[in-house]
Amino acid sequence: MNIRRTIKTRRAMTAVAITTGLVLTVAGCGGGGDDGDGKSEKGASSPAKTKSGEDGEDKEGEAQAPATDKVLAEVKGEENITLTVTSAVRDEGGFVTVSGKVTNSGGKFWAAANWRGEERELNKNGSSVAGANLIDNEGKKKYLVLRDTGGRCLCTKFTGGVKPGQTADWYAQFPAPPEGTAKVDFQVGAMPPAPIEISEGE
């Protein structure tokens, strides 16, 4: 009787040991799965951060990219000169400021001799855009560059001229056409007229 009880007891203990082992094994496998999932999630989050960082760099790069000037008009003419108008703004003071760039694409030095105008009053404005004007074709009016009491134009003077391959900025101020007039032609020297549209200043 004692031997049978001992055998039964051993069998019960063995069954308990096997069951406990299986439970621990399953738990171990489940824990490993969790670790694997955790690593998988970390692995998935890392590329997301990298991608986000890359996107941030791209956006930052875009923000740092130099802005290009808006071109209202561009004409080519005398002595391989290219005239670009980038802005024409009506100001509250009753005048219009026109500005842009001039590029010397020729092989010779350019002094803007033909751009100062033919009036005697403008003789002191050599190498400038003093002879420029705005033409209102609908209103049939021409607006000349504004000048001070000494005859000096309210415009750019190309001091030293423009060398071959160089680009220079310029501006000129004119009396403002009537409020309803927005489309005019900018003309200077022997350059072709450049059709531009006046915008309202802020």
Task: Give per-residue pLDDT as tens, 10-49.
Answer: 454 544 444 444 444 444 444 444 444 444 444 444 444 4
The domain boundary residue, chosen from 25, 44, 67: 67
- What's the pTM? 0.65
Q: CA–CA separation, 46 vs 64, rounded Å?
A: 27
- Positive/negative CA dihedral, 113, 116, 119, 123: negative
The domain boundary residue, chosen from 67, 98, 124: 67
Residues 96, 42: one domain?
no
Cβ atoms of 194 and 183 closer than 8 Å = no
Residues 14, 85: one domain?
no
Buried b (16+ CB within 10 A) or exposed e, 152-187: ebebbbbeebbeeeeebebebbbebbeeebeebbbb
Q: CA–CA separation, 161 vs 24, rounded Å?
A: 90
Structurally, the chain folds into a number of domains equal to: 2
Residues 87, 142: one domain?
yes
| Residue pLDDT, tens place only, 45-80 | 444 444 444 444 444 444 454 455 789 999 999 889
The domain boundary residue, chosen from 67, 96, 123: 67
Indicate which CATH number applies to the domain containing 137: 2.60.40.10
Q: CA–CA separation, 14 vs 20, rounded Å?
A: 10
Question: 131: domain range?
Answer: 73-200
